[in-house]
């Protein structure tokens, strides 16, 4: 098989999966990643799997004050050059064509490392995110709950990643907030010394490790990118601890960070794993996903619909 994702052998030997490194890829001309194909994908996804707002967001953006855009997701794709918008299509692995794309890309990495399968290489819980952004758009400073091969398909992007291993950018409480409430973080100039700055062109990309904060800017052209993500067993376990701690903290019980009390950690992981197994079949319904989000994360969890409601209101007023 052709290697769809490529990096120096030394990067995989010495950096993966703990430090970021540059990659190249063979997906820039894939017919599933043209604007026409993405328009079809937009039409096929449920509403809570499409998040969009103005591209004029700040690097240090308060999520409750995110500037919105008065366009539908379909209009954003059709008018991306001038829409002034940023949009992400989430969990595109729910579409079989995109599931195949993600799995083929990760399988090429697994095989290059001598593994015979995705599972043997630790690539489980694979999810894909397709980003479509207008020129001069910003993705605010944030962190994510998964490992990510980020690939640039169209246009140029500045992708800045920051070392938070010593927790001096985001402490454990802030990481818990990012994973369970909203991903955005405040950015301070003093972080720059810890930054890895990447100018990405089509055919290039970067490995973004679990919990490494980053922000992104597009340049003079519109941009299409894909985040090819997965969660190892260790990552899933740590995420479940953050979720358990947030649920208990929200109900008035102070919690220690993951790893401080391993006995309690094991109980919390078992509890969340059981809840996740019960909720898994329910998550197939958009309405039940909305209910589960508000039960676990609180009344502000369904922010996906905020932009859509305002958007619909704006259309009505026009």
**Which residues are near Fe ion by CB under 5 A?**
144
The β-bridge relationship of strands 21-25 and 5-6 is antiparallel
Nearer to Fe ion, 108 or 225 (CB): 225
Q: Which CB sits closer to Fe ion, 93 or 144? A: 144
* Nearest CA-CA partner of 33 in 100, 126, 108, 106: 100
CA pseudo-torsion sign 236, 242, 248, 251: negative
Separation of alpha carbons 212 and 169, rounded Å: 10
- At its nearest, how many Å lie between Fe ion and the CB of residue 174? 15
Name the residue nearer to Fe ion (CB basis): 33 or 226.
Answer: 226
Distance in Å, CB of 316 to Fe ion, minimum: 33
Structure tokens at 166: 């010593």
Extract the runs of DSSP E, i.e. beta strands, from the chain.
5-6, 21-25, 50-54, 85-89, 127-133, 138-142, 147-154, 157-162, 195-200, 204-208, 214-218, 223-230
CB of 133 to Fe ion, least distance (A): 13
Q: Which of 27, 269 has the CB closer to Fe ion?
A: 27
Using alpha carbons only, give the angle 312, 317, 318 rounded to the nearest 5 degrees: 100
Which CB atom, from 144 or from 147, has the smaller least distance to Fe ion? Answer: 144
Query: Could you give phi then psi for residue 226, rounded to 5 degrees?
Result: -135, 135
CB of 157 to Fe ion, least distance (A): 12
By beta carbon distance, the residue nearest Fe ion is 144
Q: How far apart are the first and last CA of the chain?
A: 52
Q: Least distance from C-beta 132 to Fe ion, angstroms? A: 15
| Shortest distance (Å) from residue 161 CB to Fe ion | 9
Least gap, CB of 224 to Fe ion (angstroms): 16
| Smaller CB separation from Fe ion, 7 or 143 | 143
Nearer to Fe ion, 25 or 268 (CB): 25
Q: Cα 174 to the chain's mean position, in Å?
A: 17
Residue 119's Cβ-side half-sphere holds a number of Cα atoms within 13 Å equal to 0
Structure tokens at 213: 């904060």
């Amino acid at each position: 098989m052709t290697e769809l994702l490529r990096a120096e052998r030394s990067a995989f030997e010495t950096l993966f999966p703990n430090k970021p490194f540059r990659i190249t890829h063979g997906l820039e001309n894939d017919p599933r990643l043209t604007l026409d194909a993405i328009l079809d994908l937009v039409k096929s996804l449920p509403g809570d799997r499409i998040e969009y707002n103005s591209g004029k967001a700040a690097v240090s953006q308060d999520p409750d004050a995110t500037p919105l855009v008065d366009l539908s997701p379909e209009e954003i794709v059709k008018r991306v050059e001038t829409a002034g918008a940023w949009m992400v299509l989430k969990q595109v692995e729910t579409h079989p064509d995109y599931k195949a794309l993600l799995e083929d890309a990760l399988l090429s990495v697994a095989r290059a490392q001598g593994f015979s399968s995705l599972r043997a290489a630790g690539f489980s819980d694979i999810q894909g995110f397709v980003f479509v952004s207008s020129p001069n758009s910003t993705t605010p400073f944030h962190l994510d709950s998964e490992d990510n091969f980020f690939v640039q398909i169209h246009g140029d992007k500045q992708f800045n990643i920051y070392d938070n291993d010593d927790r001096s950018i985001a402490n454990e409480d802030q990481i818990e907030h990012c994973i369970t409430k909203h991903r955005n973080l405040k950015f301070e100039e003093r972080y720059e010394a810890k930054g890895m700055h990447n100018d990405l062109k089509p055919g290039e990309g970067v490995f973004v490790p679990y919990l490494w904060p980053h922000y992104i800017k597009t340049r003079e052209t519109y941009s299409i990118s894909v985040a090819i993500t997965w969660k190892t067993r260790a990552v899933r376990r740590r995420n479940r601890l953050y979720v358990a701690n947030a649920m208990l903290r929200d109900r008035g019980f102070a919690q220690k960070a993951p790893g401080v009390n391993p006995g309690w950690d094991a109980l919390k992981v078992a509890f969340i794993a059981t809840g996740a197994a019960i909720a898994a079949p329910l998550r197939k319904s958009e309405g039940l996903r909305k209910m589960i989000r508000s039960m676990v994360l609180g009344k502000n969890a369904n922010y996906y619909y905020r932009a859509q409601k305002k958007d619909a209101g704006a259309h009505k007023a026009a």
